[in-house]
Structure 1
Amino acid sequence: MAATKLFQLIAFTALALIASSYGPTPVNALSTPHIHGRHHGVADSMKRNNVLKRDTAKRCKPRPSSSIASAAPTTSASPAPAPTTSSPAPEPTTTTKAATTTQSSSSSGSTSSSSSGTSTTPKGITVNGSSKLAMAWPNGDSTDFAKFSTNVQAYYTWSESCVSTDGGVPCMRMLWNNAADKVAAFKKATSGGPVTGKNIILGFNEVNEPGQANMSPEDACATWKDAIQPLAAKGYTLGAPCSSGNPNGITWMKKFFECCADCTIDFMTVHWYDIDLDNFKSWVQQWHDDFGNRDVMVTEFAVQNFNGGAQRDLGFIMNFHKEAAAWAKTQPWLKALAPFGVMRDMQGVNTANQLMNSDGSLTDLAWQIYNEY
């Protein structure tokens, strides 16, 4: 009898154990680690995407016209691009004519290998003295020019025009885009051939930006061959079209070189707006390396954050320029740099970059830059 009860107890226990194996899984045994893993993966993906967005957004903001247009007469001004909400690319309103001296001046310099698809050999830029400072001047025939012209290799006005108050500082003429009036004004200004101090040409301004020159590589090539290429035979030194700091500018320029394979491109022009010195160096270096080791001129740059983050203060910017100037002097192919900000209204760019005070004098930053580059 006892043996029978013992057997029944063992059997009942076994059945209970079997039944319990089909019960609900405990909550702490759910796939929480898996959910956490997916969340972690999404977070990593978001971080990578954010980095990509920041990288591709750098230097890609188009710039509106300068509000300093009133500083000069407007009767024959080049029309400015439509204003946008970001950084500026002013166009001058000067009505002055170029000097009429007839002494011929050709530019010769370091010879660099031509880029693939380009048959001509770039002759580079000849500069005088040790300074690598250029100037972007939007203020027309202002007497303030003399305050900023010391130690400057050359200047430009975002147009074909030079200013009567330049005191003989070399003036680089620009064909801003392919608008009929600009092309006509440019051809008129260059019809007599190069003269002393006016023998360098700058190509179109920020061709890859809708708010700026906004040209396809093919349209730019056609206009180049019509209005700029003939100047090579006259002795002008020709600077390539300029893109904004948007990385798509590299792609644009490579397409331009493909469709303008027989064009003369003596040096590259570069724009840069960001906050990191290493980024600045690598960006400028890329334009030298990717396009036949040509000379490079930085025609606009500033320490400016267009990615929604904090702007840098004056101390940071001063240190940036100190180090940038030291680096530039070690690069023989980097011929000149024109920091953005010789104006009273910075057009949305961090005012710590400003080089002109409200009274037309140099800011502390300008004094430093003019002594270091």
Structure 2
Amino acid sequence: MAVTKLLNLLAVSSLAILACSYGATPVSALSIDNHHLARSPAHGHAALAKKRRASSKRCKPRPTSSLSSSAGTTTTPPATPPAPPKTTPPASSSSTKAAPAPTSSAGSGGGGGNSGSNSGSGKAGLGWPQDDDTALINFKTNQVTAYDLFSSIPVLIYNWSPWISTKAKSLGYNAIPMMWGEKQAADFKRLVVRGYAETVLGFNEPNQSGQSDMTPQRAAQLWQEYIQPLKPQGYSLITPACTNAPSGKTWQQEFMAACKGCSFDGLAIHWYGTKAQDFIDYITDMHNTFGLPIWVTEYACQSFDGRTPQCTKDQVFSFMSQTKNFMDNTPWVARYFWFGAMYDMGNVNSLNQLLGPGGKPTALGNAYIY
């Protein structure tokens, strides 16, 4: 009997030791694991997104020295990160003008530069979620810039979080913090202070389940508490970025109506589809509706409706060429960010990838930055 009890005790102890050996492997805070895996078709997208989220594995970040506060000191990422940015159902574009949105104080520069008079260069930026800053030098060109008023032509870059990379800043990139959602509120308030940056991006797809997912009224409360106070500190404020599903436009209208005393220097938009003219029609309608400079902070040649075939390589290049040409030569388009400059494209057509092996631009990446 004594031997049996001893063997049982040893078995339990062994299992406990084994369990402790298989904890989650931490990753860097800028490395957004399984980025955008929540994308789904416009019809039935909630159920599909839920299924994808249930099957995806996410790791908690570890502190990293590559993250810096405005004072230049190392900052510590949150112990529990917000849900990674996301993505979105595509939406049918509309060329029908809607009723004017509520009045807001829109800045003509769309982010502090001279985008209102930009003749066609320097509008392309980078959404950069991975913690591979060594590759950033390969994407810095005269086409991928932030503000033309800067002689060094810094690149406009963001990573779907309040943290900005000291490596990116050292290379002359103009990093933009984002308040991705409510879970980032405390860190956003702590990090984004006077002098930390020049522009901030609002919530990521608040009209989308699985993303920041909040009512326009709650978003207005958060904006007034955390983002609007940055305006007197010299920041340009860019609206939340909704998907191009029909709910996106309605959400923005309700948000602006609820956000009393709020100011917006640009309207952020996400768009996914396969036809360049649909994209052009959509951003034109959104500009006409809200009267703000347009920031396309995510877009690609990508089908999510389950019916339309994915873009071929030639179609992706053609789509990029047509949309870039339109935006580069349209004064009210302030900035645009192709998806995606990343190694793992998730469930987005890999033919849209800008970042190739070894941190070098793909052929499409070269087309984007040159």
Normalising by structure 1, we get a TM-score of 0.69
Q: For 1:324 and 1:59, locate their aligned partners in 2 and report how far apart those are by CA, in whole Å.
A: 26
Q: For 2:277 and 2:242, locate their aligned partners in 1 and report how far apart those are by CA, in whole Å.
A: 20
**Aligned position for 1:185:** 187
Report deviation, 1:266: 1.1
- Letter of the 2:190 partner, please give it: K
For each residue in 1:26-52, what CA deviation from the matched residue of structure 2 results, as whole angstroms up to 9, or x when unmatched?
xxxxxxxxxxxxxxxxxxxxxxxxxxx
For each residue in 1:178-231, what CA deviation from the matched residue of structure 2 results, as whole angstroms up to 9, or x when unmatched?
12xx1111111122x135xx2001000000111100010011000000000101
Range moving further from structure 2, 60-69 or 274-283: 60-69
**Aligned position for 1:213:** 212
Report deviation, 1:261: 3.1
Q: For 1:87 and 1:366, locate their aligned partners in 2 and report how far apart those are by CA, in whole Å.
A: 22
- Letter of the 2:125 partner, please give it: A
**Aligned position for 2:130:** 139
Q: For 1:59 and 1:336, locate their aligned partners in 2 and report how far apart those are by CA, in whole Å.
A: 28
**Aligned position for 2:302:** 304
Q: For 1:252 and 1:205, locate their aligned partners in 2 and report how far apart those are by CA, in whole Å.
A: 13
**In the alignment, is the contact (CA less than 8 A) between 2:135 and 2:359 conserved in 1?**
yes
- Letter of the 1:300 partner, please give it: E
Q: For 1:322 and 1:172, locate their aligned partners in 2 and report how far apart those are by CA, in whole Å.
A: 26
Q: For 1:345 and 1:70, locate their aligned partners in 2 and report how far apart those are by CA, in whole Å.
A: 18
Q: For 1:265 and 1:59, locate their aligned partners in 2 and report how far apart those are by CA, in whole Å.
A: 30
The answer to whether residue 103 in structure 2 is matched with residue 118 in structure 1 is yes
- Letter of the 2:77 partner, please give it: S
Q: Which of the two has higher C-alpha Rg?
A: 1
- Letter of the 1:330 partner, please give it: N
**Aligned position for 2:195:** 194
Report deviation, 1:146: 1.3
**Aligned position for 2:139:** 148
Q: For 2:84 and 2:164, locate their aligned partners in 1 and report how far apart those are by CA, in whole Å.
A: 23
Report deviation, 1:70: 8.2
Q: For 1:253 and 1:87, locate their aligned partners in 2 and report how far apart those are by CA, in whole Å.
A: 16
Secondary structure class of the residue paired with 2:125:
strand
**In the alignment, is the contact (CA less than 8 A) between 1:328 and 1:334 conserved in 2?**
yes
Report deviation, 1:262: 1.5
Q: For 2:122 and 2:272, locate their aligned partners in 1 and report how far apart those are by CA, in whole Å.
A: 22
Report deviation, 1:272: 0.5
For each residue in 1:290-320, what CA deviation from the matched residue of structure 2 results, as whole angstroms up to 9, or x when unmatched?
11x2101100001001112321111111111
For each residue in 1:309-360, what CA deviation from the matched residue of structure 2 results, as whole angstroms up to 9, or x when unmatched?
3211111111111111111122101011100011111010001101111322
Secondary structure class of the residue paired with 2:279:
helix
Q: For 2:139 and 2:82, locate their aligned partners in 1 and report how far apart those are by CA, in whole Å.
A: 24
Q: For 2:57 and 2:136, locate their aligned partners in 1 and report how far apart those are by CA, in whole Å.
A: 16
Report deviation, 1:66: 10
**In the alignment, is the contact (CA less than 8 A) between 2:85 and 2:211 conserved in 1?**
no
Q: For 2:190 and 2:227, locate their aligned partners in 1 and report how far apart those are by CA, in whole Å.
A: 12
Flag structure 1 segments of 5+ consecutive residues without an equivalent.
1-53, 89-114
Report deviation, 1:82: 6.7
Q: What is the RMSD computed on CA atoms of the aligned residues?
A: 3.1
**Aligned position for 2:254:** 255
Structure-2 change in CA distance of 1:327 and 1:59 (3 Å): farther
Range moving further from structure 2, 124-133 or 298-307: 124-133
**Aligned position for 2:96:** none
Report deviation, 1:124: 3.0
Q: For 2:85 and 2:327, locate their aligned partners in 1 and report how far apart those are by CA, in whole Å.
A: 32
Structure-2 change in CA distance of 1:175 and 1:149 (3 Å): same
Structure-2 change in CA distance of 1:277 and 1:185 (3 Å): same
Report deviation, 1:59: 9.6
Secondary structure class of the residue paired with 1:290:
helix
The answer to whether residue 316 in structure 2 is matched with residue 331 in structure 1 is no
Structure-2 change in CA distance of 1:58 and 1:194 (3 Å): farther
**In the alignment, is the contact (CA less than 8 A) between 1:353 and 1:365 conserved in 2?**
yes
Structure-2 change in CA distance of 1:59 and 1:312 (3 Å): farther
**In the alignment, is the contact (CA less than 8 A) between 1:244 and 1:270 conserved in 2?**
yes
Structure-2 change in CA distance of 1:347 and 1:264 (3 Å): same
Secondary structure class of the residue paired with 2:357:
coil
Q: For 1:322 and 1:352, locate their aligned partners in 2 and report how far apart those are by CA, in whole Å.
A: 14
**In the alignment, is the contact (CA less than 8 A) between 1:72 and 1:142 conserved in 2?**
no
Secondary structure class of the residue paired with 2:262:
coil
**Aligned position for 1:233:** 232
Q: For 2:358 and 2:131, locate their aligned partners in 1 and report how far apart those are by CA, in whole Å.
A: 16
For each residue in 1:232-254, what CA deviation from the matched residue of structure 2 results, as whole angstroms up to 9, or x when unmatched?
11110000011112111100010
**Aligned position for 1:18:** none
Structure-2 change in CA distance of 1:314 and 1:275 (3 Å): same
Secondary structure class of the residue paired with 2:232:
helix
- Letter of the 2:225 partner, please give it: D
**Aligned position for 1:100:** none
Q: For 2:180 and 2:258, locate their aligned partners in 1 and report how far apart those are by CA, in whole Å.
A: 20
Q: For 1:66 and 1:236, locate their aligned partners in 2 and report how far apart those are by CA, in whole Å.
A: 36
Report deviation, 1:72: 8.8
Range moving further from structure 2, 138-147 or 116-125: 116-125
Larger relative contact order (CA 8 Å, sep ≥ 6)? 2
Q: For 1:302 and 1:59, locate their aligned partners in 2 and report how far apart those are by CA, in whole Å.
A: 18
Report deviation, 1:286: 1.8
Secondary structure class of the residue paired with 2:166:
coil
Structure-2 change in CA distance of 1:282 and 1:57 (3 Å): farther
